[in-house]
Structure 1
Amino acid sequence: MKLKYFPIAIIVTCLTTLDVAANQTPSFSKKDLKIAAELRDQALEGSKDYEIVESLTTEVGPRMAGTPGDAAAVKWGVAKLKELGFDKVWTEPVTFPTWKRGVETAEVIAPYPQPLVITALGFSVATSEEGLTAEIVQFDDLDALEKAPDNAAEGKIVFIRNRMERARDGSGYGPAVAARGSGASEAAKKGALGILIRSIGTDTDRMAHTGMMRYEEGIEKIPAAALSAPDADLLENMIRRGKSVTVSMTIGAKSGDAYTSHNVIGEITGSEKPEEYVIIGAHLDSWDLGTGALDDGAGIGITAAAAKLILGLPQRPKRSIRVIMFANEEQGLVGGKAYADAHKDDVQNIITAAESDFGAGKIWRIDSKVKPEALPAVKQMVEVMKPLGIAYGNNEAGGGPDLIPLRGKGISVFSLRQDGTDYFDYHHTPNDTLDKIDPEALRQNTAAYVIFAYLSAQFDGDFGSGFHQK
């Protein structure tokens, strides 16, 4: 189904008659609004978004932080931004500890011997070379494990069976992912030798979902892995029969040396206030199982392609626009933290920011986090997005994972909410590949981001960065 949009003249007429507060005038000129609508329509007709994602997934592929794929991705990012014609392209260093996956196998030993599909969770310790064999003890969720007696898992392997709920906005992820993040240390407190969790995902494929976990300081580190959904079902069915279930698992993961990667940055330099800038971006790294098409190759393609459209204008926007390809988001927002630390004295110059990191589903809502006086300008921006099927949500935007550190320092942010109904079917699995991207949906995303970036760079006021956003 093709996106339909209204003639530019009609849009501009509507925009100039918005019901704004008394004594306030529209924040954007008719010319700015007309150019934004034209950029939107160009994006819908076709841009380089899909081409960029295809290039990244084909020429680099998996790019887990600290691996040769990571280094290749940084080199690719610099070359791609230069090829697209950015006024400035540079890198900034990001240093972090590394982790390697190694062998990962599991099987039921008794009462019904069968193989299991697992994947180690990020930064899990290894089992011994002989593996770990123990009885399974099942818990409904992390909360049930935390409330269990201190010896509830003594000498056993904990199995947390909680299921993630499917939701358009991805809201099922937060409640479920706690089991991945904290499960190992909570299990160790109860005497467990290892932990298996149902994959944090919404699919029924026999593929396990990896992802980062954390060990609590002072608590014994135990091996941690995720089961594919069908294998989690299998364990539940065996346990339901009332017999002791014994599993053997082998994990060969290990930590490596510290590594320095880079945030890759491309800038469109502003024509009037070049020191002030808008951020759009995505993270360049991925997990190692798939090719990182949805997480987050799509975001790289969307934001770089949106900027390329603006680069095609006869005149640069008033303020600069930076496309940031953040390093190592997956293992703890490391690139986002590094950028925030490096630019902590520059917060008031960051007009606003938005990150694309939720796949390639169509954007259906835009949220802001701006000072109240800037809301009329936000509403004008949304009017240009309405033909894309995008409505305004609220003034409580988060901006995206890599922007959390900057948001903590007081920047204004926007969230362009994508439809993530099926995003967690593929998230952190071998199935995160290019064929999952719908080119039409990708173009709609690019159209929304080009409106956001261009109008934000043209805004004569400020959205509140450095003054009230805490």
Structure 2
Amino acid sequence: MKIDSMKHRGMKSLALALLLLSAPTIFAQNKDAMVSSIVQEANANSQLEKYAFELIDMIGPRLVGSPQMQQAHDWVVKNYNALGAQARNEPYGEWRSWERGTSQVTMTYPRIKSLEGTQLAFSPMTKEKGIEAEVVAMPLFSSQSDFQSWLKTIKGKIVLIGMNPLSGRSDANWKESASPKGYEKYQTLKSDQLKKWEGSMSYTGSTRRTLPLALENAGAVGVIDSYWTELPGITRIFDAKSKQIPVFNVGLEDYGLLYRMTEHGVKPRVSLQGNSKERGTSKTYNSIAEIKGKEKPDEYVVLSAHLDSWDGASGATDNATGVITMMEAVRILRKVYPENKRTILVGNWGSEEQGLNGSSAFVEDHPEIAKNIQVVWNQDNGTGRIVRIGGSGFEKSYEYISRWVQYLPEEFRNEIQTSFPGMPGTGGSDHSSFVQKGIPAFGLSSTSWDYGKVTWHTNRDTYDKIVFDEVKQNAIIVAILTYLACEEPTLVSREKIILPIDKDGKQTVWPTNLQSKRTSGN
């Protein structure tokens, strides 16, 4: 009996040891199987093009406070509810409600020509028949008094306020086609022109966005700018700060035409028509969707992408691509991972473009969620595939992110560069709102696809710029990383790095500069 009992205990111990040894292998196999299911579902049943068409082509640009932004919020909630999530539009403030109408810019003298241009967001509307006036170009100033003297000459005029570049060709085109001597000469002249213009602007005491206020106070009746990206046909479209007079952006090619005419003393005339509408104020929202965790419902993995955009185009790569990436990731996970251990929370934020307002408000309003967030995945830089993940200043971020990345398909994993522990963000995109509260949040950075010069806040940020195979890859990556973060046994470390000494010898502190702006009036 004693020998048999000892044998029995020995066999139990051996079985337990074998079980413990095999558990990690089984766990890894389960993860590999889930990754395979995610990839298969993404490739077989992608809904990305459907989502993109509905959001980008049908709803269009999503300026904070606009009726189109409200349509987008409602669209998000409808789609997440259809996926089986609990979705809601959560108000956090209010904003000036402005709706774009038709814009028309016409040169009426010395000849008739339709110009490529559009009213800037929040610009005052024109009268029904528009405004027609002589166009003058802002000269170079040598002093503040020089600027003040010039202001006395612009009453009743439409003012060109932007620098007219020496060439409408890109630097790459110059480098490719010019002689070495010609290219060097061009770069020297270009640098000299910019230096003189910046010096002149310093005497105005304004930026190109605030200068129209000074001009309207001096009696100007309209302002035209051209914020060129250094690529033909592409300009940046932001907002107008004027209170009474319309502000338009005109393409460089037509802007240069007007500018040269003023230099030659022609005195061109232009008609501006901007049929925008002021709609008072409207509530601002975050669209929130939750899939409750089955084991740890009070712990969260957050999928983050801002819903708003500027409205010079349709906001395709900034940031509809981020929105549909997260929506597709959730669709995939609902299909293959119905027993998510932690709550998956999607935040499609409002008013990111005015200073990360929606995401900052969410963190401020939900300390009960913030304290139990596992990680935040944020995507907000165009259509390109994810190739960089930084540690956002969290000391132990390499321990879990590096481990999770190893489960990505090899062709995805091999491209991703990581930088740990990295530095905490002071702005830029919505993950910074979480990082500043000590929450592990990470920007998923993408390949460029000329994002900075072609689509970022420009008149060309449209559906046709989307590379769907790369967005699909991003949805797969987000789905896998979300699954792994949900499965992690415990909440990850929030230990922060000790920041370096600054140039003045002082200890750098963790950033806390972000605070939500809840109205357009503060």
Q: Same fold (TM over 0.5)?
A: yes
Does structure 1 residue 122 correspond to structure 2 residue 121? yes
Which one has more relative contact order, counting CA pairs under 8 Å at least 6 apart?
A: 1
TM-score, reference length from structure 2:
0.68
Asked if 2 retains the 8 angstrom alpha-carbon contact of 1:32 and 1:455, the reply is no
Structure 1 residues 50, 251: closer, same or farther in 2, change over 3 A?
closer
Which residue of the other structure, out of 392, 417, 427, is the alignment partner of 2:418? 392
Asked if 2 retains the 8 angstrom alpha-carbon contact of 1:153 and 1:190, the reply is yes
Distance 1:160 1:296 in 2: 27
1:203-226 per-position Cα deviation (integer Å, ceiling 9, x unaligned): 423x765323446xxxx6543221
Instruction: Please give the residue correspondences for 1:167-316 in structure 2 after superposition, counting only pairs within 5 Å.
Output: 181-185=209-213, 193-199=221-227, 201=229, 203-205=231-233, 209-214=236-241, 222-239=245-262, 241=264, 246-288=269-311, 290-314=313-337, 316=339
User: 1:469, CA displacement in angstroms?
Assistant: 6.6
Does structure 1 residue 464 correspond to structure 2 residue 494? yes
- Whichever residue aligns with residue 387 of structure 1, its letter is E
Cross-structure match for 1:17: none
Asked if 1 retains the 8 angstrom alpha-carbon contact of 2:424 and 2:436, the reply is no
Distance 1:449 1:191 in 2: 53
Which residue of the other structure, out of 409, 420, 424, is the alignment partner of 2:448? 420
User: 1:80, CA displacement in angstroms?
Assistant: 0.8
Distance 1:246 1:210 in 2: 23
User: 1:42, CA displacement in angstroms?
Assistant: 3.3
Does structure 1 residue 340 correspond to structure 2 residue 344? no
Does structure 1 residue 325 correspond to structure 2 residue 348? yes
Asked if 2 retains the 8 angstrom alpha-carbon contact of 1:202 and 1:422, the reply is no
1:318-337 per-position Cα deviation (integer Å, ceiling 9, x unaligned): 32221122234445544334
Structure 1 residues 250, 144: closer, same or farther in 2, change over 3 A?
farther
Cross-structure match for 1:69: 68
Structure having the higher Rg: 2
Asked if 2 retains the 8 angstrom alpha-carbon contact of 1:347 and 1:466, the reply is no
Structure 1 residues 138, 383: closer, same or farther in 2, change over 3 A?
farther
Distance 2:118 2:143 in 1: 21
Distance 1:63 1:371 in 2: 33
Structure 1 residues 180, 354: closer, same or farther in 2, change over 3 A?
farther
Cross-structure match for 2:162: 160
Structure 1 residues 72, 254: closer, same or farther in 2, change over 3 A?
closer
- Whichever residue aligns with residue 197 of structure 1, its letter is D
User: 1:187, CA displacement in angstroms?
Assistant: 5.2
Cross-structure match for 2:90: 92
Distance 2:296 2:223 in 1: 54
- Whichever residue aligns with residue 333 of structure 2, its letter is I
User: 1:449, CA displacement in angstroms?
Assistant: 1.6
1:45-101 per-position Cα deviation (integer Å, ceiling 9, x unaligned): 343333322333455444444444333333322221122222x22221243221133
Asked if 1 retains the 8 angstrom alpha-carbon contact of 2:67 and 2:99, the reply is no
Asked if 2 retains the 8 angstrom alpha-carbon contact of 1:44 and 1:447, the reply is yes
User: 1:122, CA displacement in angstroms?
Assistant: 1.4
Distance 1:56 1:185 in 2: 35
Does structure 1 residue 449 correspond to structure 2 residue 449? no
Asked if 2 retains the 8 angstrom alpha-carbon contact of 1:352 and 1:411, the reply is yes
Does structure 1 residue 355 correspond to structure 2 residue 382? no
Distance 1:109 1:380 in 2: 65
Structure 1 residues 78, 465: closer, same or farther in 2, change over 3 A?
farther
Structure 1 residues 150, 166: closer, same or farther in 2, change over 3 A?
same
User: 1:440, CA displacement in angstroms?
Assistant: 0.9
- Whichever residue aligns with residue 212 of structure 1, its letter is D
1:280-322 per-position Cα deviation (integer Å, ceiling 9, x unaligned): 1323344556444333322221011112222234563432221
Asked if 2 retains the 8 angstrom alpha-carbon contact of 1:64 and 1:286, the reply is yes
Does structure 1 residue 42 correspond to structure 2 residue 43? no
Asked if 2 retains the 8 angstrom alpha-carbon contact of 1:306 and 1:450, the reply is yes
SS across alignment from 2:396: helix
Cross-structure match for 1:437: 466
Asked if 2 retains the 8 angstrom alpha-carbon contact of 1:267 and 1:323, the reply is yes
Distance 1:354 1:258 in 2: 32
Structure 1 residues 417, 289: closer, same or farther in 2, change over 3 A?
same
Distance 1:426 1:454 in 2: 31
Asked if 2 retains the 8 angstrom alpha-carbon contact of 1:340 and 1:406, the reply is yes
Does structure 1 residue 401 correspond to structure 2 residue 429? yes
Farther-moved stretch of structure 1 (369-378 vs 455-464):
455-464
SS across alignment from 1:271: coil
Cross-structure match for 1:376: 399
Does structure 1 residue 80 correspond to structure 2 residue 108? no
Distance 2:39 2:69 in 1: 34
Cross-structure match for 2:517: none
- Whichever residue aligns with residue 159 of structure 1, its letter is I
TM-score, reference length from structure 1:
0.75
User: 1:152, CA displacement in angstroms?
Assistant: 4.0
Asked if 1 retains the 8 angstrom alpha-carbon contact of 2:299 and 2:373, the reply is yes
Distance 1:146 1:350 in 2: 52
Distance 1:98 1:192 in 2: 25
SS across alignment from 1:54: helix
- Once the two structures are aligned, what percentage of the paired residues are identical? 26
Cross-structure match for 1:20: none
Asked if 2 retains the 8 angstrom alpha-carbon contact of 1:50 and 1:442, the reply is no
User: 1:188, CA displacement in angstroms?
Assistant: 5.5
Distance 1:282 1:145 in 2: 45
